[in-house]
Amino acid sequence: MKIDIVTIFPEVIKTYLEIGVLGRAIQQKLLEINVRNLRDYSEYPHRQVDDYPYGGGAGMVLMAPPLIKAVESLVENNSVVILTSPQGCKFHQKLARQFLQQEHLVIICGRYRGVDQRFIEGWVDQQVSIGDYILSGGELPSMVVVETVARLIPGVLNNSENLDLDSFSNGLFEEDLYTRPREVDGRKVPDILLSGNHKQIEQWRSEQREIKAKELKKNINNKIK
Ligand code: SAH
């Protein structure tokens, strides 16, 4: 699978791509990622990529021509062009699986107030939001998408990072996890996990996953008043 990411801050993204699961996937050539500087596609003086909004108002807007040039020089026969946007379709594990089926993704990172609407209408296949909040750019959202998809590529995760047990992989949440020490501030590890009875442990874990999926709402741990 190949992914091109178009951004005005390529260095930030390149650093993140070097570490952990993503770094390994790229090194092992299970995934090819190219980070493109939007300014390289600008034909304006000083490699300008943004301008004031028509109609007035504060902030800048990414201009269509550099974005169009980037997309047109990157797309191939079966490319899907994704724009990160808080107005997009909410990103979730199922969408990640759909992206995984694609040969080539081109992900555009917005900045400032956003991008010229004509680019969205003419060149973007799918707008993707990572949640109902506003970030300053599409760089973090693009990394969220890329890392989620990369984890699904066969061979990317090693045995210790079991994909099938991840939350959302089968409609369940992962069971509660415990590691050393045995006691933390009076809180103990559930006895069953120390019993050595693997059959019962497996049963406990699978019950936990079911219970969490049924009863735990996503904000159960939100203790902020
Ligand atoms: N004025 C815009 C927000 C601009 S934020 C609006 O109200 O819709 C600047 C850029 O950051 C966006 O173009 C987008 O690429 C990115 N961005 C910000 N929040 C995001 C989110 N929740 N999901 C995906 N991309 C986001």
Q: CATH number for the domain including 202?
A: 1.10.1270.20
Co-location of 7 and 81 in the same domain: yes
Q: Which of 121-130, 144-153, 158-167 has the lowest mean pLDDT?
A: 158-167
Co-location of 178 and 86 in the same domain: no
For residues 203 and 225, give the distance between their C-alpha atoms in angstroms, rounded to a whole number.
36
- Residue 46 corresponds to which amino acid? H
Cβ–ligand 1 contact at 2 (below 6 Å)? no
Cβ–ligand 1 contact at 110 (below 6 Å)? yes
- Entry field: residues in the chain: 225
pLDDT value of residue 213: 85
Co-location of 25 and 66 in the same domain: yes
Co-location of 88 and 194 in the same domain: no
What's this model's pTM, rounded to 2 decimal places?
0.92
Cβ–ligand 1 contact at 171 (below 6 Å)? no
Co-location of 24 and 123 in the same domain: yes
Cβ–ligand 1 contact at 138 (below 6 Å)? yes
Co-location of 196 and 144 in the same domain: no
On whether residue 77 sits in a domain, the answer given is: yes
91: CA distance to ligand 1 center in Å? 13
Co-location of 199 and 140 in the same domain: no
On whether residue 17 sits in a domain, the answer given is: yes
Cβ–ligand 1 contact at 117 (below 6 Å)? no
Please state the domain count of the chain: 2
Average pLDDT, the chain: 94
User: Are residues 115 and 62 in contact, defined by beta-carbon separation less than 8 angstroms?
Assistant: yes
The mean pLDDT value for 22-36 works out to 97
pLDDT tens digit string along 88-106?
999 999 999 999 999 999 9
Structure tokens of 222? 């939100």
Domain boundary among 150, 180, 201: 150
Cβ–ligand 1 contact at 38 (below 6 Å)? no
For residues 151 and 42, give the distance between their C-alpha atoms in angstroms, rounded to a whole number.
34
185: CA distance to ligand 1 center in Å? 42
Residue predicted with more confidence, 30 or 218: 30
Containing domain of residue 38, as a range?
2-150
Output the CA–CA distances (angstroms, integers) from residue 217 to 11, 90, 123, 220, in the order listed. Answer: 38, 18, 38, 5
pLDDT at 201 over 60: yes
User: Are residues 81 and 125 in contact, defined by beta-carbon separation less than 8 angstroms?
Assistant: yes
Torsional sign, CA 55, 60, 65, 67: negative
State the pLDDT confidence band at 218, using cuts at 50, 70 and 90.
Answer: low
128: CA distance to ligand 1 center in Å? 10
On whether residue 158 sits in a domain, the answer given is: no
Domain boundary among 91, 115, 150: 150
- Which atom of ligand 1 is found nearest the CA of 59? 1
On whether residue 155 sits in a domain, the answer given is: no
The domain that contains 93 carries what CATH number?
3.40.1280.10
